[in-house]
Amino acid sequence: MNFYTVVLRQSSGYWLALCLENGIVAQGNTQEEAVNKLKEAIASFEIVYESESDIYKYPISIDELHEFLFVEGKSQTPPQKKHQESVDVNAVNVRQHRHVCGI
């Protein structure tokens, strides 16, 4: 059973979900939809990763996380609500881990 750390952020009326362990991103109209799509993407990625030896799989960098959290296109608008969750890709339930706050 694999556990992944997910950061969610709202952007222009939809939610983005980013997996910190592999950089996979998904979006949905709600937090739940974004997380569910991310679970599907991670599961698909893991299947391919098992059969392909040359696929890049590394945690995202601090710079990439900062860009995800604070850069909204070319505008520098204040970040909207964000929080981080632990996701078990094999389970249906998602539990909140902690909030991520922009300074």
Per-residue pLDDT tens digits for 32-54: 999 999 999 999 999 998 898 78
**More confident position, 101 or 71:** 71
**More confident position, 34 or 96:** 34
Per-residue pLDDT for 88 more than 70?
Answer: no
CATH number at residue 56: 3.30.160
71-82 pLDDT tens trace: 875 444 444 555
Is residue 59 in some structural domain?
A: yes
Rounded distance between C-alpha atoms, residue 81 and residue 40, angstroms: 24
Q: Taking residues 57-72, what's their average pLDDT?
A: 88
Is residue 103 in some structural domain?
A: no
Rounded distance between C-alpha atoms, residue 9 and residue 97, angstroms: 15
What is the residue range of 22's domain?
3-98
For residue 2, what are the β-bridge partners?
Answer: none
Considering only the C-alpha atoms of the chain, give the largest distance between any 2 of them, rounded to a whole number of Å: 42
The angle at the Cα of 32, spanning 42 to 4, to the nearest 5 degrees, equals 35
Is residue 13 in some structural domain?
A: yes
Residue with tokens 């997380």: 35
- The percentage of residues in the chain with a pLDDT greater than 90, rounded to a whole number, is 48
Return the SS3 of 79: coil
Residue with tokens 């709202």: 10
Per-residue pLDDT for 8 more than 60?
Answer: yes
For residue 10, what are the β-bridge partners?
Answer: 15
Domains held by the chain: number: 1
Is residue 74 in some structural domain?
A: yes
